[in-house]
A and B are shown apart, each in its own frame.
Chain A
Amino acid sequence: QKEVEQNSGPLSVPEGAIASLNCTYSDRGSQSFFWYRQYSGKSPELIMFIYSNGDKEDGRFTAQLNKASQYVSLLIRDSQPSDSATYLCAVNPPYGGATNKLIFGTGTLLAVQP
């Protein structure tokens, strides 16, 4: 079992729709969760992070965390063609807080159709 799993996609949504990106993780003790956006040929850009169960909203983005189900998701409302990118889910596993080791999924390619 991979430590962080994402559907590779592509996930195709029409402009203006809600895009839902999902991620599961294997280490039950993980405490912090991150979503990065990566455009082709560019480096990852941090867009959301979440530490507690529930929802966290920032503009058009909402991160959702369910630690009991070991599941984290990212919702993008009013999707725009400029949101087309690979979305990487990253988890910081429990090493006693001593490291910043992020475990990444392989990413989900999102394509927003005009």
Chain B
Amino acid sequence: DAGVTQSPTHLIKTRGQHVTLRCSPISGHKSVSWYQQVLGQGPQFIFQYYEKEERGRGNFPDRFSARQFPNYSSELNVNALLLGDSALYLCASSLAQGDQPQHFGDGTRLSIL
């Protein structure tokens, strides 16, 4: 079975631009979470969606938004990109919300120039 798939794998943007990152969960998984990982740090929670509703939000500015579609895939949008948004963006899926183990995709490496 396919794991969590993310696209694109790499992206280069300039300050002020907008970016959309995409994620398809493992088949049968209904919960998708987004994380940001900067070099040398552990991933930081951005959003969680379950059954197409936002169930959790981390300490990120309103420039970050996300949504989940009826097929449980998800998009993360970031507006007005800043240099500090350069990071590895990770999508994780789990069967349901709560204590379920989360499985990560390969991530999207975003570089802001």
Contacts and interface: CB of A to CB of B under 8 A. Distances in A.
Contact of B42 (A42, A43, A106): A106
Contacts of B88: 43
A7 B97 CA distance: 29
Interface of B: 31, 33, 35, 40-45, 48, 50, 55-56, 58, 88, 90, 92, 94, 97-107
Contacts of B56: 95, 98-101
13 contacts: A4-B42, A34-B102, A44-B90, A46-B101, A51-B99, A90-B42, A99-B48, A100-B48, A100-B97, A100-B102, A105-B42, A106-B41, A107-B42
Interface of A: 4, 31-32, 34, 36, 42-46, 49, 51, 88, 90, 92, 95, 97-107
A97 B105 contact: no
Contacts of A42: 106
- Most chain A CB within 10 A, of B42, B99, B106, is at B42
B36 to A, nearest CB: 11
Given A34-B101, A46-B103, A100 B94 contact: yes
Contacts of A88: 42-43
Contacts of A44: 43, 90, 104
- Most chain A CB within 10 A, of B33, B41, B43, B90, is at B43
Contacts of B92: 100, 102
When A and B form their complex, which 9 residue pairs have the shortest distance between CB atoms, in order from nearest?
A104-B42, A99-B56, A32-B99, A97-B98, A43-B107, A43-B104, A101-B45, A101-B56, A49-B101
A45 to B, nearest CB: 7
A98 B55 contact: yes
A28 B50 CA distance: 26
Contact of A101 (B42, B58, B103, B104): B58
A49 B98 CA distance: 14
Contacts of A104: 42-44
B90 A43 contact: yes
